[in-house]
Structure 1
Amino acid sequence: MLLPSLPTAALLALALQSGVNAATTSDGKSKKPVEPCTITSSSGSFYDLRALSAERVAEGKKATKGARTEDWHSKGYDYNANFTLNFCAPVVDQVSDVIGIHDKARWGNVSAYYQQHGKIYSIGQQSSNLTLRGKRLVLQYDNGSPCESPESTKRATIDQDAATFAEDAPVRHKSTLISFHCEKDPVAQQAAPSFIGTPDGCAYFFEIRSAHACGGAEPTKQGVGPGAVFAIIGVIAILVYFLGGVFYQRNVAHARGWRQLPNYSMWASAGNFIKDMFIIATSSCASIVPRRRGYSALSISANGNSSGRGGRNSRDDENRLIDQLDEEWDD
């Protein structure tokens, strides 16, 4: 009887599953969504910066195990201000009265800021969209406080005839551009953002070196665990084995009843073996259990006399029974 082996059935099941997955991903709407603060390059390198993001912990709750809970800081040096920022998330510090941002709801979404002369300036709202520009991995924050430079905020022209002013340029807002570089040195110090500079007081540039900025293989995610996958493959293989065997025995060997099962003689022998073992086991258990003797059970000694307690009474009863039978016979 030719039946597909279990490895062949398993490979067939995996091939069918791969075909379904390929058909699903061919549709643009069926592709899995991109996780925030992650990106995959055209060459297949996967970047995940979520470990660099500081977590804001609500009052009364505990932080995620291993998560950072403090903002990142960078010295401004000649800029005369230090910077506080976070990656792919708002800063942990609660900021308020942010210059140029009148909507209080946006204060809790500031991802980078600096403080100067007692005032807080936002240099970008939260964003988790990473971008690859060649081999450069960058993250950009926009819509910060209005730029203070007159050249970048507005430009006024004087109408000599009407002697009026007209604005011909929109107000610009501060922004931040962060460049991430791969750090493979295991003895390097802890990653820290470095302030590169700002050419116009409106756009701010930082860079950070970290092992998390090194591209790697994307971790595979399955809807079910490895154990469940092997269980499904095993069930499919068993079904193929039994259904294929029944089909062969019924249509080729013309078997009927239980003999339609593949390798019926082997399964029957296994059943008989299990039954015999059960009988042996139950018999062994029954021999161990003590038996209760009945009233008429007597042990006879070698000389013909009954032994045990009450032996004499038993012999008298037998004699009376014999005499009674003799009288009935004579009658």
Structure 2
Amino acid sequence: MHLQSPSRVVLLAILSLASIAVADDATKTTISSTPAITPCVATSTNGAFFDLRPDAAVVVQKDEKPPKGVPTEDYVAKGWDYGSNFTLNICNPVVKRVDDVVGVDKALWKNISAYYETKGKVHSLGLQSGTLVPRGRKLVLQYTGGSPCGASDKSRDKRAGVHEGARYKYNDFDDDGEDEGDYYAPRRTSKDDEDDKGGKKDKDRQKDEPVRRKSATISFLCDHDPDTPTAFSFVGTDPDECAYFFEVRSQHACAGAEPHKPGSVGPGSVFAIIFFITVLVYVVGGVFYQRTVAHARGWRQLPNYSLWSGIWSFVKDLFVILTSSCARIIPRRRGYHTLSGSPNGRRESRDDENRLIDQLDEEWDD
């Protein structure tokens, strides 16, 4: 068998490693160009990983078995002094069907993730969202696009309809025969007309303004106790009853290690890359040194040639020893030589020996 020269072997190894690196880069480029966004999952700037999908309640059909460890009912937060309780879900729409929602299109009822009922009316606090925002040790989830906010209790200051000095008193004369001291309605001035126009503009501006809608902001806190179930707490709302704030304690809100993503370089891949680079530098550097400094040729250009050749000889000897040991264990075919080992064969051979001895004794006596 004709062996290739070491220089050709090294060149082929370099080309193969280069092709693997190019293919790996192409794969990474293809994967990174289409990033996948997973809802209800977030990674903070310091590398902390959060996954709240186990806390999201899911809808289970009648014929299906509920998945183990996954909630199948909505979360309820007591409103206490607010006067109404709140029904919510995490990252998913509420499990319970909602109808007749105030100020929300019927097509969006199935996407409501938080609501409350008061006086027989359902008010939405926002539509489904799976975008988690890490802020320090907390996670924030926000639902928007709920029912319209209520009217503000604060009313706009209105100007007086009558200006100072607009009402006057006739004390000196009586033109129409009225009694002295009677008051008369003031005349309208240009300033009054401007005030009326300003009021109309304010009304038109209010009509053009977008409708403010209710929203829910949920803050998640880490709870290391695995026996404590996930629970919602109502914190409060703003004076306009537009923004509602909740707090949730859950073991899944604790930061953890991010799992390996398909297409990303894991610890094993990093170790393999470092190993191949080290071997490549060792082989190329050793061949260069042996060829230029030691003036070696042939296979002796490889670094530590005597060491590797001795290891190869040891491996061959070990293989021969193992194969010979296994050959003894393997049963062999029985041939004619086994007949002499049979009991009948042994008896016949002993009789022949005895006869030969007796014959020799007789000849010796003669």
8 Å contact kept, 1:38–1:46: no
Task: Give the 3 Å change call, closer, same or farther, for CA 55–279 of structure 1 in structure 2.
Answer: same
Letter of the 2:273 counterpart: I
CA–CA separation in structure 2 for the residues paired with 1:217 and 1:244: 43
| Rg comparison, structure with higher value | 2
Offset of residue 206 of structure 1: 2.2
Task: Give the 3 Å change call, closer, same or farther, for CA 127–288 of structure 1 in structure 2.
Answer: closer
TM-score (norm 2): 0.55
Matches within 5 A, 1:157-306: 166-169=203-206, 170=209, 171-183=211-223, 186=225, 189-198=228-237, 199-213=239-253, 216=255, 219=258, 221=260, 223-279=264-320, 285=327, 289=332
Letter of the 1:205 counterpart: F
CA–CA separation in structure 1 for the residues paired with 2:100 and 2:243: 21
Offset of residue 84 of structure 1: 0.5
CA–CA separation in structure 2 for the residues paired with 1:71 and 1:135: 25
8 Å contact kept, 1:91–1:110: yes
Offset of residue 122 of structure 1: 0.7
Gaps of 5+ in 1: 1-16, 18-23, 295-306, 308-331
8 Å contact kept, 1:149–1:201: no
Task: Give the 3 Å change call, closer, same or farther, for CA 247–96 of structure 1 in structure 2.
Answer: farther
Letter of the 2:287 counterpart: V
8 Å contact kept, 1:47–1:213: no
8 Å contact kept, 1:48–1:213: yes
Gaps of 5+ in 2: 1-20, 22-27, 162-194, 338-348, 350-366
Task: Give the 3 Å change call, closer, same or farther, for CA 128–235 of structure 1 in structure 2.
Answer: same
Offset of residue 173 of structure 1: 1.5
Task: Give the 3 Å change call, closer, same or farther, for CA 64–146 of structure 1 in structure 2.
Answer: same
Q: Tell me how many residue pairs correspond in the alignment.
A: 267
Offset of residue 252 of structure 1: 1.9
8 Å contact kept, 1:54–1:70: no
8 Å contact kept, 2:152–2:240: no
**SS where residue 111 of structure 1 aligns?**
strand
Q: Give the counterpart of 2:83 among 80, 85, 93.
A: 80
CA–CA separation in structure 1 for the residues paired with 2:284 and 2:75: 63
CA–CA separation in structure 1 for the residues paired with 2:135 and 2:266: 36
Matches within 5 A, 1:117-196: 117-131=119-133, 138-149=140-151, 166-169=203-206, 170=209, 171-183=211-223, 186=225, 189-196=228-235
Aligned-pair identity (%): 48
